[in-house]
Amino acid sequence: MTDARVPGDKSISHRFLILAALAEGDSRLSGVPASLDVASTISCLRALGVTVDEREAGVIRVARESDWRPPLTPLDCGNSGTTARLLIGLLAGLGVGAELGGDESLMSRPMDRVVYPLQAMGARINYADRLDRLPVRLEGRASGDLRALRYRPRVSSAQVRGALLLAALTGRQDVEILDRLRPRDHTERILRSMGAPVVSEAIGSGERVHFPGASWSGGLAPLDATVPGDISSAAFMVAAALLTGTELAVRSVGLNPTRTAFLRVVQEMGVKTEVRESGFEAGEPVGDLMVSPSQLTAFVLDGDLVPQLIDEIPVLAVLASRAEGISEIRGAGELRVKESDRLALLSANFRALGVRCEELPDGLLVHGSSVPLRGVVRTGGDHRIAMAFGALGAAPGCEIEVDDRDCVNVSFPGFWDTIGQFVAVEEAP
C-alpha cells in the first residue's frame, strides 16, 4: 500500500484566508499550501492592508489591524479565477475601490458571471478594456448602500456564490441564490462555522442559499484550523494508482461531499474505494481515502454531477483512455472557460498520443485502449492538463512528455516527485 499526502485544498485556502481577514480577532491557519494560486490571494489581501504573516511550523496568522485600504497598484490575481471572483465580491461589499487583473489565461476568462449580479446589487464595476474580461475597476463608495439580491445564476458556480455571499456579508445586505445544480459549498460551511447564519436548502438537484445580511449584526469568530488535503490533487494520485496497479491511501484529505463525486465515477469504472472520515476543520470533513486498483471499464457522465467534479474531468478522461469501452462526457461546456479550453486540449493531446477521441460542444467521447501511448503533451500552461497527462505517463507502456512541467505549481508544488512514486507493476502486453 502506498501512502500519499497532498497539499492543502486550494478552494478552502482562499476562503479561509479571506474570511479570516473579516473575522473579529487573529486567526491561525495551518496547512496553507505554497501553491501559486493561494499566493495570489495572500498578496492581494496584503495589498488591501491585511496582515498575513508566517509563524513557526508553517502556521499563518491572519489579522486586520486597520481598515481595508484601497490598493496603491492594481491587484494581480495571477492565474487564479477564484482569487479574482471572490475578491470582486468582497470589494464590492466593502465599497473599496480597486483594479483587478491577472495573467493571460485569467484575462481571457468570463467575469460577467460575478460582475452582473454585483452590479444588480448596486456595485459600480467597469471593464477597463474588454467586456466580460479582466481588468475590472471597482469604484470606491460608502459601504452599506448595496441592494438585496435574489438571483438564479446561469451557471451553478461556487465562485459566483462565494462572491455574492462575501458582498452580502461585508455590505450587510440580504442575498438569496437559487442554483439549478449544487456547486461546492465551502463558503457556506466555513461561514457557518464562524457564526454566520447562512441557510442552505436542497431543492431537487439544485440548492437555495440565503444569508440575511441586513438583519444580522453579529461578527465572524476567528478561525483556528488546518486546511485539509486537496481532494482534486488526490484525484491525480488515484489515477496514477489505478493505472499502475497500486493500492493507495491518501491521508488527511478533504471529504466534503460536494467534492467527492469523481469517486462515484471511479466506482462506476469498477474500482473499490473507501473513505474514512476522522473529523472536521471549520465545518469541512477530513479523513483518509483508499483505492484498490482493478480492470477499468468505460463510464457515462452527464448533467447533475458535473459541477461537483468539474476539476476532475481531465483526469477522468485520462482514465477513460485506458478503460475498456467508449466513455462519454457531456454537460461539461464549462471546461472551455477554465485555465484553458480543457475540452479542446484534452482531445488534441489524446489524438497526438494515439488515443481515439471525439470532441463534442460540451464534452468528449474517449475510446479506451491498452496500446502504448507516446508523444508530447501541450498543456497551454494549465496545471490540471499537465497533471492529468503526468498521471497517464505513469501507466505501463506510456512515454509522455509534458511541455510545461512547472505549471503544476499553480495548485500542486511537488507533483512530479509524488507521481514518481508510482511505478507500473506490470508491463503492457
Any idea which residues carry the catalytic annotation? 311
For ligand S3P, the closer of residues 266 and 306 by Cβ is 306
Could you tell me which stretch among 48-56, 154-162, 201-209, 315-323 binds ligand S3P (CB under 6 A)? 154-162
| Segment near ligand S3P (CB under 6 A); pick from 53-61, 236-244, 274-282, 304-312 | 304-312
Smallest separation, CB 138 to ligand S3P (Å): 20
Closest-CA residue to 12 (of 279, 199, 285, 201):
285
* Residue 218 burial (C-beta neighbours within 10 Å; 0-12, 13-18, 19+): exposed
Q: Nearer Cβ to ligand S3P, position 38 or 296?
A: 38
Single-letter amino acid, residue 354: G
Shortest distance (Å) from residue 336 CB to ligand S3P: 12
Closest approach of ligand S3P to the CB of residue 144, in Å: 26
Regarding 157 and contact with ligand S3P (CB under 6 A), the answer is yes
d(C-alpha 52, C-alpha 65), whole Å: 11
Of 6, 31, 10, which is closest to residue 78 (Cα–Cα)?
Answer: 10
11 binds ligand S3P per the rule CB under 6 A: yes
The nearer residue to ligand S3P, 77 or 310, going by C-beta atoms, is 310
Q: What gap in Å lies between CA 237 and CA 326, rounded to an integer?
A: 23
From the list 193-201, 296-304, 305-313, 344-352, the region that binds ligand S3P by CB under 6 A is 305-313
Give me 146's grid cell. 448595496
Q: Considering beta carbons, is residue 182 or 184 the nearer one to ligand S3P?
A: 184
Which of 207, 281, 284, 311 contacts ligand S3P by CB under 6 A?
A: 311
Q: Phi and psi for 240 in degrees, rounded to 5?
A: -60, -40
Region from 20-28, 198-206, 306-314, 374-382 binding ligand S3P, contact rule CB under 6 A: 306-314
Residues 6+ apart with CB under 8 A from 208: 176, 177, 178, 179, 200, 201
Sole binder of ligand S3P in the list 183, 213, 314, 368 (CB under 6 A) = 183
Q: Work out whether 114 is an interface residue with ligand S3P (CB under 6 A).
A: no
Q: Which is nearer to ligand S3P, 311 or 382 (CB)?
A: 311
Quick check: helix, strand or coil at residue 383? Answer: helix
Q: Binding to ligand S3P by residue 159, rule CB under 6 A?
A: yes
Q: Please list every residue from 348 through 407 that binds ligand S3P, using CB under 6 A.
A: none
CA nearest to 119, candidates 129, 131, 107, 105: 131
The nearest distance, CB 286 to ligand S3P, in angstroms, is 17
Q: What mask, x for binding ligand S3P by CB under 6 A, covers residues 77 to 106? A: -----x------------------------
Q: Please report whether residue 164 would count as binding ligand S3P according to CB under 6 A.
A: no
Which of 134, 310, 320, 385 binds ligand S3P (CB under 6 A)? It is 310
Which CB atom, from 322 or from 338, has the smaller least distance to ligand S3P?
A: 338
If one asks whether residue 260 binds ligand S3P (CB under 6 A), the answer comes out as no
Of the candidate residues 48, 121, 149, 158, the single one contacting ligand S3P (CB under 6 A): 158
State how far the Cα of 330 lies from the Cα of 120, in Å rounded to an integer: 32
- Binding-residue pattern over the window 45 to 84 for ligand S3P, x denoting contact by CB under 6 A: -------------------------------------x--
Asked whether position 228 contacts ligand S3P by CB under 6 A, the answer is no
User: CA-to-CA distance for 26 and 410, rounded, in angstroms?
Assistant: 27
Q: Tell which residue, 75, 121, 72, 70, has the closest CA to residue 96.
A: 70
Alpha-helix runs per DSSP H in 199-353: 231-244, 261-268, 313-320, 342-353
Residue written as grid cell 511537488 = 414
DSSP 312-364: GHHHHHHHHTTSBSEEEE-S-GGGGGSSS-HHHHHHHHHHHHT--EEEETTEE
Single out the residue of 162, 228, 368, 390 in contact with ligand S3P (rule: CB under 6 A): 162
- 174-179 and 149-151: which strand pairing? parallel
Q: Residue holding cell 431537487?
A: 204
Please say which residue, 27 or 35, places its beta carbon nearer to ligand S3P. 35
C-alpha cell at 394: 505513469
What is the smallest separation between the CB atom of 325 and ligand S3P, expressed in angstroms?
27
Q: Are 127 and 202 in contact (CB under 8 A)?
A: no
- Please give the C-alpha separations between residue 380 and each of 36, 385, 401, 404, in angstroms, as whole numbers: 17, 8, 14, 8
Q: Which residues bind ligand S3P (CB under 6 A)?
A: 11, 82, 157-159, 162, 183-184, 307, 310-311
